[in-house]
Structure 1
Amino acid sequence: MNAARKRPAALRRIALDTRPLRIPAYRRLLAGQGSSYIGTMLTGVAVPVQMYSLSHSSLYVGLTGMAGFLPIIAFGLYGGAVADRVDRRLLYLWSSLVTWVTTLALLGQTLLDVRSEGLILALVAVQAASFAVASSARGAIIPGIVPAELVAAANTLNFTAGNLGEVLGPLIAGALVGLPHGFAYAYGADALLFTLSLYSTFRLPSLTAAGQDASWRGGMRSVLDGLRFIRTSPVVMMSFAVDIAAMVLAMPRALFPQAVALRFHGGIGLLYSSIAIGSVVAGLFSGWIGRVRRQGVALTCAVACWAAAIALAGLTRDLATAVALLALAGAADLVSAVYRQTILQTYAPDEMRGRMQGVFTVVVAGGPRLGDLRAGAMAATTGLGLAWTGSATLCLVLVLVTASCVRPFWHYTVREQDHEEKVPAAV
């Protein structure tokens, strides 16, 4: 009988922590985000496929990625600064409206058969800018509606929902774009799903950053204040540095087509979905994450596990083994993402959280793009093995050595005094 009681208790300790769902405001936020994640992936697949169908050129497909890169940097940083000055709910709502209108414009150019590569690139740039602002505001909202001790659990739920969208969205998009008028179906479904996100955002409470005063400096000076805070905070700086290393040195995504052609002879869909699948599975068994106190060490170990699994996947010639190792890497990525986000949201003061989330958006969205560029350039000059396993191994060594040498980060521990901000569950 005692053993039977212990099993459910042990399961609760490792299962996904759903306590943040008791908070109505967070529940609405997650529901809206969950639907928008799937819609975003629908457009994320439809745009490059439509671009290739119009141009018959991989160069234009690559330009769709680069079209969003600079807007993400500029609007991610400045949007974060604005989020520290205005009502974050309104900023999130208006930037989400821009994203929604841009999706409708993508739908319109498809229905009208405009067939303009330049128009699609322009719309991608606008959508990337609004996404960057919305992401900066959204990340700063979570600590305002969730008690500090549940921030890690809330982030885990967010990332799990996002990874589930990364699995379901491409599968749905793949089915839709193969139909007659399939691009219109994909964009239309994205617009419909995003409507749910707009409604949930509208229902959020007003959320203005604490600590505002007349000395707040707008424009680039405010952005520079945020960057200066990072430079003088080793804990925050290292949380960004390890993520940049992981994405730039150990992201193998751009190598999948070549690996399929030379090694696996099929299975491209499995390779592209394997990391997200691993993250989803890890999210379902993530109840332990919020109980870890040494978050600097935990983040380092998660990134090291990511790099090691990626390096091993680059050595195998068996597709099933590669998929399993990439899924393991995805599980580690989920853990590292939760700790990165949680450190930012709890370490930075509330009046600085928008700017920290702006930098986080730039790193998370820009890092993989730079990683794709690095991997592709290395593979073309040094070969697949060095571009995949060699670079991931370098990442592993670099992260372990650097993180262990930065003592404030390595010894960073979540303390009760870091959890002073409490928010009623009935928000």
Structure 2
Amino acid sequence: MGVRDRLRAVFADTRPLHNEHFRRLWVANIITVIGAQLTVVAIPAQIYAITQSSAMVGLAGLFALVPLVVFGLYGGALADHHDKRTLLLLTTTGLIATSGLLWWQAAAGVEDVWVLLGIFALQQACFAVNQPARAALLPRLIPAEQLPAGNALNMTVMQFGAIGGPLVGGALIPVLGFPVLYAVDTVFLLATLWAVLRLPPMPPTGAPVRRVGLGSVLDGLRYLRWHTVLLMSFVVDLIAMIFGMPRALFPEIAHESFGGPLAGGIAFALLMAAIPLGGALGGVFSGWVSGVERQGRAVVLAIVVWGLGIVGAGAAVMAAGRAGGSVTLGPAGPEGSSLLWTLLVLAVLFLAVAGAADMASAAFRTTMLQEAASDEVRGRLQGVFFVVVVGGPRVADVLHGGAGAVLGPGLATLVGGVLVVLGVLLAARLAPVFTAYRVER
């Protein structure tokens, strides 16, 4: 094995970047993901600042879930029956427009949580149609043996953006306010619009279909009935995300457990950035994913590690709550500040471990779907995949928001992690064909 092969086995495989269209989309994504993550941070922080309620922050998950499910499934069908480039152009324009509306409501000082949630739901509808088309075109750009590497590269960008967005946005909300964050997102989205404009036409390759409707969506769901491995890849991810994603509790944890300000602050920024930080580091050292053959077993192990990381984070938050959340985290703060800093670092480390495990799980699950499905149904299956990936955390927002109000944010987080571990092990036992799934590399 030469030096280049050894490096490829450790660091990210960059062969997909040799394709100019993939490279252009990937570079544009570096810019737009940062802006998108500023909005991801700003929306829950603004809701909490208006209502001071984690339950209302969790309600944002419900406002996102409905359009994500409906338009995610329908968007997958559209991607199979229409030019994927055209869909990306239309939906990217819609994302720019809704991001501009978010800037407007913040700049105008509306402070009406229902207006904010309504714009957010509209934005998620555009996003839901955009993502299945984007994922479905990847196998048209790069060869099959490069799909794990291409997915890992895309996820690494997402994770790095999800680090920079929370760190910058969370820290600057008290200084610059919400309008600046929404404005940056609006401008940065123009980079993706430019990259999509440079794509070649991407018409469907199968036989033409008379119309796109409910029957077309159901055909994609029926396809899953006979592909247990693909179906289980969705089930285990739902288990991981619904029970193990406590982000709706981060504003309350930062404010109540670690003594941060009501809106934003360093504790909130670190908590929001922790999972993406782990995912980004996992992506940098993702060269090994291209050589894994037992992909089903690898997914199960990764989700177990995810759950254990969430358990550790919940335990650290509970300890911080007992230490007294009213103590501030300032370096020259009162007695108790040092202990809270230690517990915050522990919580961030555990969340980072979970993020690294989630990156590996997502890379394998995405590759399974892209390799096993033909181009004629790939868009619809990517629609289902998208609904699961983004819908699971939205359900988690609602459940964790309610559970946090009853159990407290630390215990709700810890219990969720335990349920992840138990749930994925039970699923693996009930469907051994999933853990036995392998590909030849």
TM-score by length of 2: 0.85
Q: What runs of 5+ residues in structure 2 fail to find an aligned partner?
A: 261-266, 320-342
Which residue of the partner structure matches residue 242 of structure 1? 236
Name 2:302's counterpart in structure 1. Answer: 302
Once the two structures are superposed, the pairs formed by residues 49-64 of structure 1 within 5 Å of their partners are: 49-51=45-47, 61-64=57-60
Distance 1:402 1:209, change over 3 A: same
Q: 1:210 aligns with which of 202, 205, 214?
A: 205
Q: Post-superposition shift, 1:231?
A: 2.3
Letter in 1 for 2:183: G
Kindly provide the amino acid, as one letter, of the partner of residue 193 in structure 2.
Answer: L
Higher mean alpha-carbon deviation, 220-229 vs 264-273, is at 264-273
| Residue in 1 that maps onto 2:432 | 407
Cα 1:33–1:338, aligned 2, differ >3 Å: closer, same or farther? Answer: same
CA 1:193 to 1:263, structure 2 compared with 1: closer, same or farther past 3 Å?
closer
Is the alpha carbon distance of 1:136 and 1:285 closer, same or farther for their aligned partners in structure 2, counting shifts above 3 Å?
same
Shifted more, 53-62 versus 292-301: the winner is 53-62
Asked if 1:46 is matched to 2:34, the reply is no
How many residue pairs get aligned? The number is 410
Distance 1:178 1:259 in 2: 17
- Structure 2 CA distance for partners of 1:197 and 1:370, relative to 1, 3 Å: same
Residue 166 of structure 2 corresponds to which residue in structure 1? 170
Instruction: Report the CA distance shift for 1:393/1:112 in structure 2 as closer, same or farther (over 3 A).
Output: closer
Change (3 A) 1:323 1:176: closer
Verify: 1:275 aligned to 2:269, yes or no. Answer: no
Of the structure 1 ranges 286-295 and 63-72, higher mean CA displacement relative to structure 2 is found in: 63-72
Shift of residue 96 of structure 1?
0.8
Which segment drifts farther, 339-348 or 165-174?
A: 165-174
The AA in structure 2 aligned to 1:224 is: L
| 1:192-222: CA deviation from partner (whole Å, max 9, x where unpaired) | 11101100011111112322334x6520111
Name stretches of at least 5 consecutive residues in structure 1 with no aligned partner. 417-427
* Aligned twin of 1:196: 191
The C-alpha deviation readout for 1:302-347, integer Å capped at 9, x for no partner, is 1111112222333344333332222111100000011111111111
In 2: Cα distance, 1:96 partner to 1:369 partner? 22
Q: CA deviation at 1:50?
A: 4.2
Aligned to 1:420: none
Say whether residues 1:320 and 2:335 are aligned partners.
no
Q: Is the 8 A contact 1:39 1:189 kept in 2?
A: yes
Q: What residue is the counterpart of 1:88 in the other structure?
A: 84
C-alpha deviation, 1:41, in angstroms: 1.4
Deviations 1:49-106 (A, max 9, x none): 4455566766654444432221111100101111100011111111111111122233
Identity %: 42
RMSD of aligned alpha carbons: 2.6
Q: 1:321 to 1:185 in 2, by over 3 A?
A: closer
CA shift in 2, pair 1:293/1:234, >3 Å: same
Residue from 87, 93, 96 that aligns with 1:97? 93
* Residue in structure 1 matched with residue 287 of structure 2 by the alignment: 287
Matches within 5 A, 1:12-411: 12-51=8-47, 61-113=57-109, 116-179=112-175, 182-214=177-209, 218-256=212-250, 267-316=267-316, 317=319, 318-382=343-407, 387-411=412-436
TM-score after normalising by structure 1: 0.87
Residues 281 and 414 of structure 1, relative CA distance in 2, 3 Å threshold = same
Q: Distance in 1 between matches of 2:32 and 2:122?
A: 17
Q: Deviations over 1:368-420 (max 9, x none)?
A: 1222332333344455565333332232132123224423322212247xxxx
The one-letter amino acid of 2:424's match is: V
Instruction: Determine the C-alpha separation between the residues in 2 that align with 1:261 and 1:411.
Output: 45
